[in-house]
Chains A and B, each alone.
Chain A
Amino acid sequence: MSTSSPSGTETGPAHRSVEAGVAVACIIFGIITVLGSLQVGIGWGPSGPLSGFFPFYLGIIIVLASLVNLKAALSLDRSKLFASWDQLGQVLAVIVPTTIYTIVLPYTGIYIASIVLIAGFMMWLGKYAWYKAILLGIAVPVAFYIAFEKWFLVPLPKGPIEYWLGL
């Protein structure tokens, strides 16, 4: 990673574009809400307002408020950065493993996935020696296993390896 670049010349997405993007996402969210409300009816039924009545107006308000936000976003200074690419790289370094972790979790079980996540994080971002990483990576899930399954009697998701170990 090249973290040595001076702060003045860092590049990254403009704050203005991100802000506008969020406002547009809100508008889309609002439109989806309005469409969904129309599907179930926004009028008046035998038991009062229909199911779509309340969310319909919520959707309208979201669209209107987001239009104001979009206008405000577009008048922002173009030169201000949202974050530098380096910083976003750091953020992605958390988002990507977390996403993989949450997706594989039901198949591998939470314990195996956690061992890989913690040990991987320590080796990749923390530059720890592999034996330290694996030691702690195993110790933490074991502690969670004892706390949750034995003490609180809360079952956590398990996969083939956990079943093979007889947990």
Chain B
Amino acid sequence: MLADIANLFHGFAVVLQPYNILLMVIGILLGVIVGVLPGLGGANGIAILLPLTFSMSPTGAIIMLSCIYWGALFGGAITSVLFNIPGEPWSVATTFDGYPMAQQGRAGEALTAAFTSSFVGALFAVIVITLVAPLVADFALEFGPAEKFAVYFLAFCSFIGMGKEPPFKTVAAMMMGFVLAAVGLDSVTGQLRLTFGFTELLNGFDFLIAVIGLFGIGEILLTMEEGLAFKGKAAGINPKVVWQTWKELPRYWMVSLRSCLIGCWMGISPAGATPASFMSYGIAQRISKRGHNFGNGEIEGVVAPETAAHAAGTSALLPMLALGVPGSPTAAVLLGGLLIWGLQPGPLLFVEQPDFVWGLIASMYLGNLVGLILVLTCVPLFAAILRIPFSIIAPIILVICAIGAYTVNNSSFDVILMAVFGVVGYAMKKTGYPLAPLVLAIVLGDQAEEAFRQSLLSSGGNLGVFFSNGLVSTIMVLALVALFWGAISEGIAKLRSQPKTA
């Protein structure tokens, strides 16, 4: 424990170098822009910029990339409050009360509340990461292939059972991700598979290309279809409004705390920031004395979803760091980045690369603080970006996506592939297939398969290996509970309602 704190302070020393602070500010600014613009989001923005960081030191790179993530989380709130357009899915719930507040001329108050709550949520989650991640990592050091596969299995089962999309659509999307990951050279036997003679497919599908296409191009197509015209409210934040809102906010400490807990829980189990924000909003509405007024510009209705979304977004990095299983698509892209820099995420990272891990954790503390200050001071600037007409922004984003896709492997074929993924992403989004499990499966596919095959190899093909000891059985049972969570919770609800009717 004490050693961890010493490590953390060492991490702060690393992050506080001027060069790293500069990277942090650049990252946050890029992140907010990415979060504000349609068609660019946290996952996609990081995917596009990842190749540019190959030449940087891993610590500097992860600081910049994770700050893009914080920036994107902050940026989503700006568009929700001022334009009633959620820049990111997790800020949909923020529009419910944020936009009415802006209509009443209380935009400054709503934005201050949103940013501050985001900061509080993130801070809570980072503290959780600081305290819990090393313990989880310690524990996970004992994991063999069977346990590893069980953890992956748990992550994917939670997606199926707890997501709001139809479970069979989630299954189909996820399995397609695994198949795409399997294409190309098989790392275990060294054999080519599923390439059907196309030499372009030798190296398989790169998840970065998939992310840029699915999230970037797909999002632009959706925006085009909806024909959005950005007509926003004026953004005015001055120190007086900020101060007054800050004085008012401590009154909502209960909402904040509850939202932090919901957010952390949903972020660590890979449900993600979007359901966390909705759930937090829903619960706040039910419990609050002013719940009937939610939707008409209630400040609590901004605090609850923003706190939860940011807490979830941040805590999604916990399983990624400690177990190598990302809790969100953006965390998955960051994990992919770690692999490219030659760092194997998971428990060993804490032992082998303490500088890197604690530098990252320290940058989470500072990054969110820097982010809060930056967004509070620069809101009008970011709002101005949103006022650029879509017919100018769209082709520029397309060009950025193309450059991002090309630079991953310096391959023009990847750019075409990106366009294909874009159309697929549009169709999937429109028909309710979730994209997050697909991306996660592409990132984790090879490792999950390797763990699966190694486990089977050691047991001689007996599936009983996944229930061979207490630890692995517990994880597998948890996974099965998560998988059938929909059915189980329905059953409980029925049992509860029966005594009343009887």
Contacts and interface: CB of A to CB of B under 8 A. Distances in A.
Given A55-B179, A106-B412, A122 B457 contact: no
Interface in A78-100: 82-83, 87-88, 90-91, 93-95, 97-99
A8 interface: no
Contacts of B169: 65, 69
Nearest to A55: B182
Contacts of A55: 178-179, 182, 193-194
Given A47-B457, A49-B456, A101-B398, A69 B418 contact: no
B40 interface: no
A146 B394 CA distance: 21
Given A90-B224, A91-B221, A94-B224, A117 B398 contact: yes
A117 B192 CA distance: 38
A15 B431 CA distance: 8
Contact of A103 (B395, B416, B452): B416
B19 interface: no
A117 B298 CA distance: 44
A117 B430 contact: no
A48 B461 CA distance: 8
Interface string B221-237: 10011110000000000
A121 B396 CA distance: 10
Contacts of B193: 36-37, 39-40, 51-52, 55
Interface in B317-362: none
A51 B399 contact: no
Contacts, number: 177
Interface in A135-164: 136, 140-141, 144, 148, 152-157
Given A45-B189, A47-B188, A22 B427 contact: yes
A18 interface: yes
A36 B433 contact: no
B29 to A, nearest CB: 14
A102 B419 contact: yes
B227 A102 contact: no
Contacts of A88: 225
Contacts of B220: 94
Interface of A: 15, 18-19, 22, 26, 29-30, 33, 36-37, 39-40, 44-45, 47-55, 58-59, 61-62, 65-66, 68-69, 72, 82-83, 87-88, 90-91, 93-95, 97-99, 101-103, 105-106, 110, 114, 117-118, 120-122, 125-126, 128, 136, 140-141, 144, 148, 152-157
17 contacts: A19-B431, A22-B431, A22-B433, A33-B194, A48-B188, A51-B186, A62-B172, A87-B227, A90-B227, A91-B221, A102-B412, A105-B406, A110-B403, A122-B395, A125-B394, A144-B403, A156-B407
